[in-house]
């Protein structure tokens, strides 16, 4: 058992290193990318060049440098992940805290709303909203965030239902502390374990959803580079330009896997009771 835990910690360390590298690439994309990611080059021989010293990951069908587009795509994907997860955390923590603390009809009403939203498959709900609102990076961030908070809300509610009966909460209430102070100073800091885990796992899930939407043409729109729309281009040249599918696919795989490894290890470290939790 200890060997298994050691292996998991090592995998988590590797995942954390990958996340840090991706973050640095996204932040310093302007300095890392050797070319303008949207610069088209239709000169003879410039299109669909194989990886070389001049173009490390080759070029696409419009002569654009794939490495530069991958670097800027990392910025787009991580931005979508962080913003969407931040929005879902705000909604999920707020709804879960209110439902768990006040209970009664407030709890019943909020949980029925959560259950109604959870009845709809998330991907179809996202597709429906984007169909009405249109494909746009800001819309994608908002839609992913607005559809990803239900599982966290239920977890936070369960934590509040348990913690509000603790002695220190009763003592604070007896001393005249108001609901706001009890929620933010006494209960919420002790209920953050599932929030941390959900945040880490949620970023990986949001990146995967954004890449899927961009691949379908419903996410980040060309010419803005995204791992998903680079894959879309590669789909049309899979036999003659393998690098257009391989490199963005590996980037998505490695990034999402890294977040999952770190998230699951963090879950076990912070609260073993959450081992059965699966991110919705």
Assign residue 104 the CATH number of its domain: 1.10.3720.10
Model confidence at 2, pLDDT cuts 50, 70, 90, reads low
Q: Does residue 49 sit within a domain?
A: no
Number of domains in the chain: 1
Q: What is the pLDDT of residue 183?
A: 87
| Residue 15 and residue 258 in contact, taking contact as beta carbons nearer than 8 Å | yes
Q: Residue 234 and residue 248: Cα distance in Å, rounded? A: 9
DSSP secondary structure letter of residue 53 = S
Q: Phi first, then psi: give them for residue 65, nearest 5 degrees.
A: -70, 120
Q: What is the pLDDT of residue 189?
A: 87
Q: Does residue 161 sit within a domain?
A: yes
Q: Residue 218 and residue 208: Cα distance in Å, rounded? A: 13
Q: Residue 144 and residue 19: Cα distance in Å, rounded? A: 20
DSSP secondary structure letter of residue 221 = P
Domain residues for 253?
Answer: 2-33+54-276
Model confidence at 278, pLDDT cuts 50, 70, 90, reads very low
Q: Does residue 80 sit within a domain?
A: yes
Query: Cα 70–37–216 angle (5° rounding)?
Result: 60
pLDDT in tens, 138-173: 888 888 888 889 989 999 999 998 888 888 888 888
Q: What is the pLDDT of residue 280?
A: 42
Range 75-98 average pLDDT: 92
Q: What is the pLDDT of residue 7?
A: 65
Q: Does residue 97 sit within a domain?
A: yes
Q: Does residue 246 sit within a domain?
A: yes
Structure tokens at 125: 């709900």
Q: Does residue 41 sit within a domain?
A: no
Q: Residue 183 and residue 189: Cα distance in Å, rounded? A: 9
Question: What pTM does this model have?
Answer: 0.85
Burial 174-195 (b: 16+ CB within 10 A, else e): eeeeeeeebbeebbbeebebbb
Q: What is the pLDDT of residue 222?
A: 79
Structure tokens at 265: 């290890």
Q: How many CB atoms lie within 10 A of CB 25?
A: 19
Q: Does residue 39 sit within a domain?
A: no
Poorest-confidence range of 7-11, 30-34, 136-140, 230-234?
7-11
Going by C-alpha positions, the residue among 267, 265, 275, 261 that lies closest to residue 19 is 261
Model confidence at 82, pLDDT cuts 50, 70, 90, reads very high
Q: Does residue 267 sit within a domain?
A: yes
pLDDT in tens, 110-135: 999 999 888 888 888 888 888 888 77
Give the whole-number percent of the chain exceeding pLDDT 90. 34
């Amino acid at each position: 058992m200890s060997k298994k835990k050691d292996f998991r910690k090592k995998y988590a360390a590797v995942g954390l290193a990958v996340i840090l590298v991706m973050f640095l690439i996204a932040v310093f994309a302007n300095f890392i990318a050797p070319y303008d990611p949207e610069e088209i080059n239709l000169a003879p021989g410039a299109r669909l060049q194989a990886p070389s010293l001049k173009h490390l990951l080759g070029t696409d069908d419009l002569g654009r440098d794939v490495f530069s587009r991958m670097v800027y795509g990392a910025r787009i994907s991580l931005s979508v992940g962080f913003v969407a997860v931040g929005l879902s955390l705000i909604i999920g923590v707020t709804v879960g805290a209110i439902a768990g603390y006040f209970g009664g009809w407030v709890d019943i009403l909020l949980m029925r709303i959560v259950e109604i939203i959870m009845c709809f498959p998330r991907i179809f709900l996202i597709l429906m909203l984007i169909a009405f609102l249109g494909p746009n990076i800001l819309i994608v961030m908002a839609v992913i965030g607005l559809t990803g908070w239900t599982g966290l809300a239920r977890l936070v509610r369960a934590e509040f239902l348990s913690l509000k009966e603790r002695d220190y909460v009763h003592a604070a209430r007896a001393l005249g502390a108001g609901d706001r102070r009890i929620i933010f100073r006494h209960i919420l800091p002790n209920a953050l374990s599932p929030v941390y885990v959900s945040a880490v796992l949620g970023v990986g899930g949001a990146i995967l959803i954004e890449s899927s939407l961009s691949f379908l043409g419903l996410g980040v729109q060309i010419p803005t580079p995204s791992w998903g729309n680079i894959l879309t281009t590669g789909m049309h040249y899979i036999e003659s330009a393998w690098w257009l599918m391989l490199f963005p696919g590996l980037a998505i795989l490695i990034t999402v896997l890294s977040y999952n490894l770190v998230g699951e290890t963090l879950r076990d470290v912070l609260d073993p009771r959450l081992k059965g939790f699966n991110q919705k």
